[in-house]
Amino acid sequence: MSTRIDLPQVFHLGPARLTAGLDRFRRLDLASHTHVHPPLPRPTRDDLLDLAEHVDLRGRGGAGFPFARKARAAMAAADRTGARPVIVVNGSEGEPPSAKDRMLLARSPHLALDGACLAAAAFGAEEIVIGVTAGSPGEVSVPAALDERDLPCPARTVCLPERFVSGESSALIRGVNGLPVQPATVRARAAEGGTGGVRRRPTLLSNAETWAQLAVAARLGPGAYAAVGTTAEPGTVLLTVNRPAAGPLVVEVPFGTRLGDVLDACGLRPGAGVLVGGYHGAWLGPVDAVGASLSRTGLAELGGTLGAGAIVALTADTCPLGEITRVATWLAGESAGQCGPCRRGLPDAAEALAALATGADGPAALEDVRRALGSAQGGGACSHPDGTARFVLSALDVFARDVEAHVAGPGCGRPVLGVLPLPHDEGARLEVDWSRCAGHGLCGVLAPGLVRLGPHGYPASTTIPVAPWQEHGARRAVNQCPALALRMRRPWPPPGRPR
């Protein structure tokens, strides 16, 4: 994947809090940061916990878990074990339509560090760890910011591979601990330490925006913080609005803002439907999208989710089913391949979607999609199967007329324009040379979860995406193909390595 050297553009509807100063400065170093933001208070442990509870600060990474509850659990574990906690800032964004945390760490790194340092000082932390994506602007911006400021405890930056699952909390903690960056197969609460924490310490982990919101709330106080937003969800939220043929736009809005107003301000129309929450989010029809309240409660009433705040409006000139198939195929390859839903359920669903998009198998293909995703839900080692199922199944409902056209045979007649953003560089792929392939079928035996054979023993696809966990089987198939009809093609340079 390409090195991310671009700095996302920003603007705001309502007060500029997290985006303050970014209309004047490309990046806020410590001098400009202290000019834009007032001095940071030094609350006690109880004061900081009460503040987070009073404003109902919730994680902005997608799950929306109450920060105060997580922090109190970490403090209870620290008191019980005598181990000092570790503060972790999750700045790893492996999701193509999301750029808000990348923007914060690139353009306003001290705001997120303010929140982490507040907690580290109040909670007596042993260390602050900031996880960033390798090759992203944060890889340079965050260490530079750390060098500029006084810190309450040691701090370091950890670079993670640019993959969708790298931002999952247990995957990040595994990476910090020097283990493979993939979700833990046994669920353990990071706040309680043990196997779920950094070096077995109680670990307080939140994403970059959450830490920045904590710093804003500490400066403003609960009353002023709640001056915007809704009664149940005070404050502002960062959104990533994706624009066709343009870079993503990070927008700060008060909770409760109408989605239609945000689209208008960005020069967009709802088109055929709007995705809210990114690739683990849900689709809304155009009418629902325009009137939707951008809050967890408002979107839940429509069957949606705010997630990490990524928004994509699907233009009416592209094939919805083809777009969904592209993303579902990519999501299947981005899994860690540790459990049945990821090893079989998501690839099976992507294959059935591809058949449906081309008009093959009709109703049977649609039923195969629903069956594969139904079996994938609720049984994964992490939330990846559930989030992927929500993305696809909500699309089948919102774009039901287009799906019917593909079930009937010829399809909707529109091209696939690639409106839904995906990485520009492809991952490893297995390619079939049809001039050599003799239909022995050995590849399907050596890599059964990767190569699907047609009714006559030939591979069903000419080019097959290979996830990292599938590479061993792919190499076996290449090396043992009796007709030498297979080859592996890899991107260069490897993902995460700067060009």
Q: Which domains does the chain have, with CATH numbers?
A: 9-225 (3.40.50.11540), 256-314 (no CATH), 321-408 (1.20.1440.230), 429-489 (3.30.70.20)
Residue 284 β-bridge partners: 274
Angle (nearest 5°) at CA 144 between 139 and 149: 135
Q: pLDDT-based confidence at 381, cuts 50/70/90?
A: low
Taking CA 413 as the corner, what is the angle to CA 311 and CA 402, rounded to the nearest 5 degrees?
A: 55
**Listed residue (321, 368, 323, 320) closest to 345, CA to CA:** 368
Give the closest residue to 212 by CA, choosing from 134, 97, 106: 106
pLDDT at 320 (0 to 100):
95
- pTM of the shown model: 0.87
Bridge partners (DSSP) of residue 121 are: none
- Token readout for 289 is 């999208």
Q: What is the mean pLDDT of residues 388-408?
A: 93
pLDDT tens digits, 217-228:
999 999 999 999
335 CB neighbour count, 10 Å cutoff: 28
* Whole-angstrom distance, CA of residue 205 vs CA of residue 194: 14
pLDDT of 420 strictly over 70:
yes
**How confident is the model over 268-300, as pLDDT tens digits?**
999 999 999 999 999 999 999 999 999 999 999
Rounded-to-integer distance, Cα 262 and Cα 284, Å: 15
Check pLDDT > 70 for residue 494.
Answer: no
CA-based diameter of the chain, in Å? 73
- Euclidean distance between CA atoms 428 and 209, whole angstroms: 33
Give pLDDT, residue 276: 96
CA distance 70 to 38: 27
Tell me how far apart the alpha carbons of residues 65 and 211 are, in angstroms, rounded to a whole number.
13
One DSSP character per residue, 76-96 reads HHHHHH-PPPEEEEEE----T
Pairing of strands 86-91, 127-133: parallel
pLDDT at residue 496 in the model: 40
Under DSSP, is residue 405 helix (H, G, I), strand (E, B) or coil? helix
Residue 85 makes CB contacts below 8 A (sequence gap 6+) with 74, 75, 77, 78, 123, 124, 125, 126, 201, 202, 203, 204
b/e per residue, 221-252, with b = 16+ CB within 10 A? ebeebbebbbeebbbbbbbbbbebeeebbbbb
Q: What is the pLDDT of residues 111-149, one digit of tens each?
A: 999 999 999 999 999 999 999 998 889 999 999 999 999
| Interval 414-441 mean pLDDT | 85
Structure tokens of 117? 């340092």
SS3 452: coil
